[in-house]
Structure 1
């Protein structure tokens, strides 16, 4: 079968023939129709993840056919029995086990779920990792509910967009930040109330005043802007953090934090139960993940370049003909 092979740090992925998977009976082989990229895949190619293995097939997200039915794959492996955090054996599909940037992938049968019927293969492939992350941080960790005012940073990425869609569907009022006015406008067209550039402190303050403060903040950046986002929180605000692309937190006022009774929740991925709940939520509310760009599998390096540039609005997806 054809696959994109990761053969070395900072090396292009190699589109080549590899052996078909021959797993034991606890695994099923999914014939893939589409796979989606995550920033994780880009970080791995730069060598920024531990326990790298060469050669290997990256890719955590996929939609395909198993036993004649369209399915999606849960990439969260060995979460464990405690819903609060993952086990010591936890990993994400696509490293250390071969992932979805191939015509076929072997996955545990317990990780194969029916595809939401209203989604295309490309849309469904965009859902698993980002959808699970967004669902857990928004609902399990930050307990977002109808009537909350929710601020989501870095709109345009897969998790941020799905968190936006989930929060709106749940009846929350959503505001967003981005360095791109165009991305803010697109989020407003999707149903967000408003937004501001994180590069403009005055605009951020004005947004906070217009909203009347925020009950929930969902952040993936950290860095210099984190303290400002905390200042925009209402009393009792909940802040969910699922990334730190801008580095360590800066400008955090400790008195502001404790006088407002704020809570900060770290979050990554989620349990099998949350994955099932996320799919049910998507079906009930007819959520459609935003797909920004679609490439053929053989053009995977072009897709990674788009991921590197962070210019896309929505998920970058690989179309697979197997």
Structure 2
């Protein structure tokens, strides 16, 4: 096997703390698989580990989402064999040429889905799945506001919701990005006037749910856009962590609900992971959602990819190629 290498954060800070190092992945233990990787997904959560917002020991192996082929199988495993294509969207260490993963966190990639598309979609697509299907069971005709709608999760979520018949109001940071979003209403610009525009579009009622992966900058606009007893799903912190929340703000806004979910609580068991991945791959194979890979970086250029992501210069999904 050729020398393995990975990208790690040697300290907490900006993208320049990311460094390349050789490592020995070793052989998989009981219940583990060794993967030779073809593609790695870039996600905002990767920047949280790099900056220290999410704690992890240093040096921190970065990345959670990847796809490749099994090159070695540990003991006690049924259902996987050398040569199988698999994806994984949990743990750390995806920014690497090789990776050992627990077999119960691996997902078989079906025919018709490429490894690049799987790497671009595993984390973002399964996130869109649980947001659209498991947190609130939206019905056709209900209304959702999706922030960062041209981004990795947002672009998938818009198509997923529209397939359910949900009326989608999309919001993006620029007119150029908004023009690429196939929502019922595609908005862009500052958050100051967003809630008023949403009220106009909904006849004053507001939306049933807001999907907010932006965080601090969008928080007030999200609350103000909700209808009475509406739900704010805060699933990311692209602009920084949400400030301390007063429960009285939820009362004054109309008995509002707020949840701060993570994917891993929705795919905690083997059965939940298989169910969620199955729903994602079904929609990929039917053309409901697609990877929409906007850019590719060499894995060795992970720092440049982080800079582009944090500057909101990416569109759709971004993958890193070892």
Bin for the TM-score computed over the shorter chain: 0.7 to 0.9
2:151 to 157, 174, 194: 157
Mapping of 1:127-138 within 5 angstroms?
127-138=121-132
Report the Cα offset of residue 252 of structure 1. Answer: 7.9
Partner of 1:186, secondary structure, is coil
1:223–1:249 CA contact under 8 A, matched in 2: yes
Correspondence for 1:73 among 77, 88, 91 = 88
Unmatched 5+ residue regions in structure 1? 76-92
Structure 2: 5+ residue stretches without partners:
71-81
Query: Is 1:277 matched up with 2:271?
Result: no
Provide the TM-score with structure 2 as the length reference.
0.81
Change (3 A) 1:50 1:131: same
Alignment match, 1:292: 294
Classify 1:149/1:117 alpha carbon distance in 2 versus 1 (closer, same or farther; 3 Å).
Answer: farther
Say if 1:13 and 1:232 are closer, same or farther in 2 by CA, change over 3 A.
closer
Contact 1:152-1:164 at 8 Å conserved across structures: yes
Partner-residue secondary structure (3-state), 1:71: strand
How far the C-alpha of 1:35 sits from its partner, in A, is 0.4
Q: Is the 8 Å Cα contact of residues 194 and 221 (structure 2) preserved in structure 1?
A: no
Say whether the 8 Å CA contact 2:146–2:211 is kept in structure 1: yes
Return the offset for 1:65.
1.0
State which of 5, 10, 24 in structure 2 corresponds to 1:19.
Answer: 24
1:64/1:268 Cα in 2 relative to 1: closer, same or farther (>3 Å)?
same
Distance across 2 between alignment mates of 1:109 and 1:164: 31
- Cα distance between partner residues in 1 of 2:191 and 2:151: 20
Are the counterparts in 1 of residues 6 and 95 from structure 2 also a CA contact under 8 Å? yes
The counterpart of 2:184, out of the listed 188, 193, 196, is 193
The partner residue of 1:63 within 64, 67, 70 is 67
Distance 1:59 1:257, change over 3 A: same
Paired residue for 1:39, among 28, 35, 44? 44
Which residue number corresponds to residue 77 of structure 2?
none
Structure 2 CA distance for aligned equivalents of residues 177 and 103 of structure 1: 36
Bigger CA drift: 252-261 or 30-39?
Answer: 252-261
CA–CA separation in structure 1 for the residues paired with 2:175 and 2:137: 29
Contact 1:214 1:237 in 2 (8 A): yes
Equivalences for 1:219-298 in 2 at 5 Å? 219-223=212-216, 225-244=218-237, 245-248=239-242, 254=248, 257=251, 260-269=254-263, 270-271=266-267, 272=269, 273-286=271-284, 287-298=289-300
Q: Does 1:121 align with 2:115?
A: yes
Other structure's SS at 1:117 match: coil
1:162-181, aligned counterparts within 5 Å? Answer: 162-181=156-175
Q: What SS is found at the alignment partner of 2:180?
A: helix
Distance 2:281 2:126 in 1: 14
* CA distances 1:255-288 after superposition (whole Å, capped 9, x unpaired): 7746734322221113244432332222332221
Query: Is this contact kept in 1: 2:195–2:224, CA < 8 A?
Result: no
Shift of 1:227: 3.0
Show the counterpart of 1:8: 11
Distance between the aligned counterparts of 1:72 and 1:198, measured in 2? 36
Kindly indicate whether structure 1 or structure 2 has the higher relative contact order, using CA contacts under 8 Å at least 6 residues apart. Answer: 1
C-alpha separation between the residues in 2 aligned to 1:294 and 1:234?
Answer: 39
CA distance 1:259–1:211, change in 2 (3 Å): closer
Aligned length: 295
TM-score (norm 1): 0.81
| Matched-pair contact (CA < 8 Å) for 1:230–1:257 | no
Rate the CA distance shift 1:254–1:115 in 2: closer, same or farther, 3 A. same
